């Protein structure tokens, strides 16, 4: 991937600074393995230098665990002297941060080797490598995310979350009330600011719906014919939601399962594939008869066990799964069926697409997209036929067969020959090393429940 010409880059910076003379600072952002946004803040006068020469950040940024500590077994820390790489701006991501009291802008970055080649361990580059395989076939990915999150109180109880008091009624919500409009009204100022902030930042968020738990909501992003850009939008939307919520004296969480007994947070992705003429190759009056669609689904389902570590990358991720919460636990598909892993929404023939329903909101969007696209490409090129579509309740017809814990998911990924053809094995090694390090720390901790059960009883 070549860096855009310096003149083009500088024109973007010049136009923005001229249009926004009030801006004092610019946040330079890059998403790590966990989707956590990191970077630097600069003064506006340094923006041109960033566009001309980039900024230096250590390669170990992509070897950080969920707590921001370098996992040395990745080889990206002390083994290479914690050396820097260079980060360049991603075109058309320069925008205002509407929540800031001091006018501040933001700019997404991507990491490169010092010689200019993309850095293999940047999750955005992991995705770009998969997208390139579709480019070679003359195909374009059209994608959109649906992102679920909870609004929570800034003051938690014994370290555990609780719903925020409604700014309208002053009460904490406790009921499910899926799609209830009144619950949108309870938090209308915050939710409306999220939509307006997204519009200001060029993020195509077109709807917010109340989900199936207290103070849980879903933001729908509009489809875009650029897989990388779709993921950029998802990363920036999460940051926007967190900051707007805080501005309203609330907090937010994308933790996969923050409350026992309530629905988890999912990150569904809708994907269609366009040919050279911009036509959807999944278009069909009868989706079951569309060979391209069948093969794409077949590839996704075949690789789904190996994708799970990217879709559900944390210990908590696997607590989402359960029939009552519409989280699929087996490689299944169906037409307009929300109990399956891959749903094909029914409607107009040219809008036929894949809805991948497994990942949690704690997934890195770039890695989620890369793994799903790997499955689609594998299916298209090998003409993988899927099992019959499921009608009715998939949970009653199919036993749980997908990995249901992080350790098993990491083993599936590490052993997958198919995934290694799409995602650099060096990156898989880094990802597995980071997650195994987190898992080891988790397994050495002692929970409150263990003390309650065993301290005085055994």
Is residue 362 scored above 90 in pLDDT?
Answer: yes
Report the SS3 class of residue 105.
Answer: strand
Q: Which CATH class is domain 6-117?
A: alpha beta
Beta bridge partners of 447: none
Q: Is-contact 283 350, C-beta < 8 A? A: yes
pLDDT, position 132: 98
- The first and second tokens of residue 237, run together, are 């939307």
Is residue 82 scored above 70 in pLDDT?
Answer: yes
Is residue 9 scored above 80 in pLDDT?
Answer: no
Mean pLDDT of the chain: 93
Q: Is-contact 215 187, C-beta < 8 A? A: yes
Q: Which of 199, 102, 206 is nearest to 144 (CA)?
A: 206
pLDDT, position 1: 45
**Dist CA 7 CA 436 (whole Å):** 44
More confident residue, 215 or 10: 215
**Number of helices followed by number of strands (H, E) in the chain:** 13, 14
Mean pLDDT along residues 393-410: 94
Question: Per CATH, which fold does 131-422 belong to?
Answer: Creatine Kinase; Chain A, domain 2 (3.30.590)
Is residue 394 scored above 70 in pLDDT?
Answer: yes
**Dist CA 195 CA 201 (whole Å):** 10
The model's pLDDT over 257-310, given as tens digits with 9 standing for 90+, comes to 999 989 999 999 999 999 999 999 999 999 999 999 999 999 999 999 999 999
DSSP 8-state assignment for residue 35: S
The model's pLDDT over 171-222, given as tens digits with 9 standing for 90+, comes to 887 766 554 566 677 888 999 999 999 999 999 998 898 877 889 999 999 9
Q: Is-contact 250 190, C-beta < 8 A? A: yes
Q: Which of 48, 44, 11 is nearest to 25 (CA)?
A: 44
**Residue that the structure tokens 């060096």 belong to:** 426
Q: Is-contact 217 241, C-beta < 8 A? A: no
Is residue 2 scored above 50 in pLDDT?
Answer: no
More confident residue, 180 or 388: 388
pLDDT, position 211: 78
More confident residue, 159 or 103: 103
Angstrom distances, CA of residue 436 to CA of 11, 66, 255, 307, 309:
44, 12, 19, 16, 11
Q: Which of 343, 316, 106 is nearest to 232 (CA)?
A: 106
> Angle 425-443/291-311 helices, nearest 10 degrees?
50
Give the HSE-up count for residue 257: Cα atoms under 13 Å, Cβ half-sphere: 17
The model's pLDDT over 335-345, given as tens digits with 9 standing for 90+, comes to 999 999 999 99
**Dist CA 343 CA 332 (whole Å):** 9
Burial class of residue 263, CB neighbours in 10 A (0-12, 13-18, 19+): buried
Give the HSE-up count for residue 101: Cα atoms under 13 Å, Cβ half-sphere: 2
Mean pLDDT along residues 358-376: 98
**Dist CA 89 CA 94 (whole Å):** 9
DSSP 8-state assignment for residue 62: G
Q: What is the pTM of this model?
A: 0.95
**Dist CA 41 CA 50 (whole Å):** 11
DSSP-derived pairing of the beta strands 104-112 and 84-89: antiparallel
Report the SS3 class of residue 410.
Answer: helix
Domain segments of the chain: what residues?
6-117, 131-422
Is residue 84 scored above 50 in pLDDT?
Answer: yes
Confidence band of 8 (pLDDT split at 50, 70, 90): low
**Dist CA 431 CA 311 (whole Å):** 13
Q: Is-contact 320 385, C-beta < 8 A? A: no
pLDDT, position 326: 79
For the chain, percent of residues with pLDDT exceeding 70: 96
Q: Is-contact 449 80, C-beta < 8 A? A: no
Report the SS3 class of residue 221.
Answer: strand
Beta bridge partners of 143: 224, 271
Q: Worst-scoring range by mean pLDDT, 59-63, 162-166, 176-180?
A: 176-180
């Amino acid at each position: 991937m070549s860096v855009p010409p310096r003149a083009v880059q500088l024109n973007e910076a010049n136009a923005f600074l001229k249009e926004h003379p009030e801006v004092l600072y610019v946040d330079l952002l890059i998403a790590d393995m966990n989707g956590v946004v990191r970077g630097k803040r600069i003064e506006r006068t340094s923006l041109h230098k960033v566009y001309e020469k980039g900024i230096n950040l250590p390669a170990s940024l992509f070897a950080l665990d969920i707590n921001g500590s370098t996992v040395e077994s990745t080889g990206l820390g002390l083994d290479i002297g914690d050396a820097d790489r260079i980060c360049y701006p991603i075109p058309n991501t320069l925008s205002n941060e509407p929540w800031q009291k001091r006018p501040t802008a933001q700019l997404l970055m991507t990491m490169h080797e010092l010689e200019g080649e993309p850095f293999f361990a940047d999750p955005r580059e992991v995705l770009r490598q998969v997208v390139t395989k579709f480019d070679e076939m003359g195909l374009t990915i059209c994608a959109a995310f649906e992102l679920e999150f909870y609004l929570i109180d800034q003051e938690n109880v014994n370290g555990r979350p609780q719903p925020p008091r409604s700014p309208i009624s002053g009460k904490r919500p406790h009921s499910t009330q899926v799609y209830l409009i009144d619950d949108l009204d309870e938090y209308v100022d915050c939710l409306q600011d999220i939509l307006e902030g997204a519009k200001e930042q060029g993020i195509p968020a077109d709807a917010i719906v109340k989900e199936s738990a207290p103070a849980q909501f879903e933001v729908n992003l509009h489809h875009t014919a650029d897989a990388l850009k779709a993921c950029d939008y998802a990363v920036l939307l999460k940051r926007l939601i967190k900051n707007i919520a805080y501005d309203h004296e609330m907090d937010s969480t994308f933790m996969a399962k923050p409350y026992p007994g309530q629905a988890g947070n999912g990150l569904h992705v809708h994907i269609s594939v366009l040919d050279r003429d911009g036509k959807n190759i999944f278009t069909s009056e009868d989706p079951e008869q569309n060979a391209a669609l069948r093969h794409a689904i077949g590839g996704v389902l075949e690789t789904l066990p190996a994708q799970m570590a990217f879709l559900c990358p944390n210990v908590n991720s696997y607590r989402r799964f359960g029939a009552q919460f519409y989280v699929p636990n087996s490689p299944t598909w169906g037409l307009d069926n929300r109990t399956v892993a891959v749903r094909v929404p029914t409607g107009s023939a040219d809008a036929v697409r894949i809805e991948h329903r497994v990942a949690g909101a704690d997934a890195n969007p770039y890695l989620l997209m890369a793994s799903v696209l790997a499955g689609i490409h594998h299916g298209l090129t090998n003409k993988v036929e899927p099992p019959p579509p499921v009608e009715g309740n998939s949970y009653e017809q199919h036993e749980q067969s997908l990995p249901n814990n992080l350790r098993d998911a990491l083993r599936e990924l590490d052993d997958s020959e198919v995934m290694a053809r799409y995602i650099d094995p060096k990156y898989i090694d880094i990802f597995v090393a980071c997650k195994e390090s987190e898992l080891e720390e988790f397994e050495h901790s002692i929970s409150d429940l263990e003390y309650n059960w065993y301290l005085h009883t055994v």
